[in-house]
Amino acid sequence: MGKPMQVARHWRHFEEKYALIGGKCENGHLMFPYREICPVCGSRNVEKHKFSGKGKVVSWTIVRNPPSGFEYYKPYPLALVQLEEGPVVLAQLTDVEPEEIDFGMEVEMVTRKVREFDEDGIILYAYKFRPVLKPQKE
Amino acid sequence: MEKPVIIGVGMVPVGEHWRVSLRDMAVEALLNAMEDAGIDKVDSLYVGNMASGSFIEQENLGALIADWAGLGNIPAVKVEAACGSGGAAVQEGAKAVMSGLEDVVAVVGVEKMTDAWPSDATRFLGYAADAEWELFHGASFVALNALIMRLYMKTYGYTEEDLAHFAVNAHRNGAKNPYAMFKKEIKLETVLNSPYVADPIKLFDAAPMCDGAAAVIITSKEKAKELGVPKEGMVELAGFWRAIDTINLANREDFLTLKAAKVAAEKAYKMAGVTAKDIDFFEVHDAFTVMAALSLEALGVAEKGKGAMLAKEGQIAIDGDYPIQTMGGLKARGHPVGATGVYQTVEAVLQLRGEAPEGIQVPDAEVGLTQNIGGTGSNITVNILRRV
Ligand SMILES: [Zn+2]
Q: What is the pLDDT of residues A19-34, one digit of tens each?
A: 999 999 999 999 999 9
* Residue B361 CB partners (closer than 8 Å, separation 6+): B318, B351, B354, B355
CA angle B213, B272, B293 (to 5 degrees): 60
The pair phi, psi for residue B332, each rounded to 5°, is -105, -40
List pLDDT tens digits, range B26-38. 999 999 999 999 9
Asked whether residue A1 is assigned to any structural domain, the reply reads no
Region B219-239 average pLDDT: 97
C-beta atoms of A68 and B150 within 8 A:
no
pLDDT for B248 equals 97
pTM here is 0.97
The CA-CA-CA angle for residues B308, B372, B304, to 5°, reads 30
What does the pLDDT look like over A34-46, one tens digit per residue?
999 999 999 999 9
**What total number of domains does chain A contain?**
1
Q: Please state, in angstroms and rounded to a whole number, the distance separating the CA atoms of residues B380 and B264.
A: 7
Contacts of A58 in chain B (CB under 8 A): 151, 255
Decide: B42 and B276 in contact? Cβ < 8 Å. no
Residue A1 contacts B, CB cutoff 8 Å: yes
Mutation target for A interface from B55, B136, B160, B255: give the one with most A CBs within 10 A. B136
Q: Which of B56, B137, B152, B288 to mutate to test the interface with A (most CBs of A within 10 A)?
A: B137
User: How many Å lie between the centroid of ligand 1 and the Cα of residue B384?
Assistant: 36
Summarize pLDDT for B101-125 with one digit per residue, the tens. 999 999 999 999 999 999 999 999 9
A6 touching B, CB under 8 A?
Answer: no
CB atoms within 10 A of CB B131: 12
B120, B138, B151 ranked by CB distance to A78: nearest? B138
Distance CA B229, CA B224 (A): 5
Pick the CATH number of B129-208+238-387 from 3.90.78.10, 3.40.47.10, 3.20.10.10, 3.40.50.1820: 3.40.47.10
Q: Report A:87-126 residues touching B (Cβ under 8 A).
A: 87-92, 98, 103, 114-115, 124, 126
Q: How far apart, in whole angstroms, are the C-alpha atoms of residue B243 and residue B258?
A: 10
Predicted local confidence at residue A20, as pLDDT: 98
| Confidence tier at A72 by pLDDT (50, 70, 90) | confident
Chain B residues whose beta carbon lies within 8 Å of the beta carbon of residue A78: 137-139, 143, 147, 198
Residues of B labelled as active-site residues: 83, 335
Residues with Cβ within 8 Å of residue A136, at least 6 apart in sequence: none
pLDDT at A2 over 70: no
Residue A138 has pLDDT above 70, yes or no: no
Helix axes B118-126, B141-156, angle to 10 degrees: 70
Q: Mean per-residue pLDDT for B89-111?
A: 98
Asked, colleague to colleague, whether B5-117+209-235 and B129-208+238-387 share their fold, the answer is yes
Q: E-strand spans in chain B?
A: 5-11, 44-48, 76-79, 104-112, 196-198, 201-202, 211-219, 235-244, 281-283, 367-374, 379-387
Q: State whether B142 and A73 contact (CB < 8 Å).
A: no
- Full domain range(s) for residue A127: 7-131
Q: Which of A56, A64, A101, A129 is nearest to B143 (CA)?
A: A64
Three-state DSSP state, B369: strand
Distance (Å) from CA A29 to ligand 1 centroid = 4
B152: closest chain A residue by CA: A59
Q: How far is B145 from chain A (nearest CA, A)?
A: 9
| Contact predicate B107/B33, CB 8 Å | no
CATH of the domain at A11: 2.40.50.840
The pLDDT tens digits of the residues spanning B326-361 come to: 999 999 999 999 999 999 999 999 999 999 999 999
Q: How many Å lie between the centroid of ligand 1 and the Cα of residue A42?
A: 6
Residue boundaries of the structural domains of chain B: 5-117+209-235, 129-208+238-387
Instruction: Please name the member of B136, B151, B197 whose beta carbon is closest to the beta carbon of A59.
Output: B151
Domain contains A138? no
Residue A88 domain-assigned? Answer: yes
The chain B residue lying nearest A12, using CA atoms, is B132
In this prediction, residue B39 has a pLDDT band, given cuts at 50, 70 and 90, of very high
For residue A1, name the pLDDT band (cuts at 50, 70, 90).
very low
CB contact under 8 A, B147 and A59: yes
Q: Which residues share a beta bridge with A109?
A: A129
Name the residue among A70, A80, A114 with its Cβ closest to that of B250. Answer: A80
Average the pLDDT over A47-56 and give the result: 98
Does position B300 have pLDDT exceeding 50, yes or no? Answer: yes
First to last CA, chain B: 16
| B60-78 mean pLDDT | 98
User: What is the nearest CA distance from A136 to chain B, expressed in angstroms?
Assistant: 31
Nearest CA in chain A to B150: A59
- Cα–Cα distances in angstroms (integers) from residue B289 to residues A28, B75, B259, B285, B367, in the given order: 38, 38, 18, 9, 24
Give the number of other CB atoms < 10 A from CB of residue A47: 9
The CATH number fitting domain B5-117+209-235, selected from 3.40.640.10, 3.40.47.10, 3.40.50.2300, 3.40.605.10: 3.40.47.10
Contact yes or no for B250 and A90 at CB 8 A: yes
Q: CA torsion sign, B199 to B204 to B205 to B209?
A: positive
Inspect the interface and report whether the beta carbons of B132 and A124 lie closer than 8 Å: no
| Residue-wise pLDDT tens digits, A78-111 | 999 999 999 999 999 999 999 999 999 999 999 9
In chain B, which residues have their Cβ closer than 8 Å to the Cβ of A63?
138-140, 143, 198
Chain B residues within 8 angstroms (CB to CB) of chain A: 54, 117-120, 122-123, 126, 132-140, 142-144, 146-148, 150-151, 154, 195-201, 246, 248-251, 255
Does the pLDDT value for residue B303 go beyond 70?
Answer: yes
Amino acid code (one letter) for A123: I
pLDDT at B152: 98
> Does A136 fall in a domain?
no
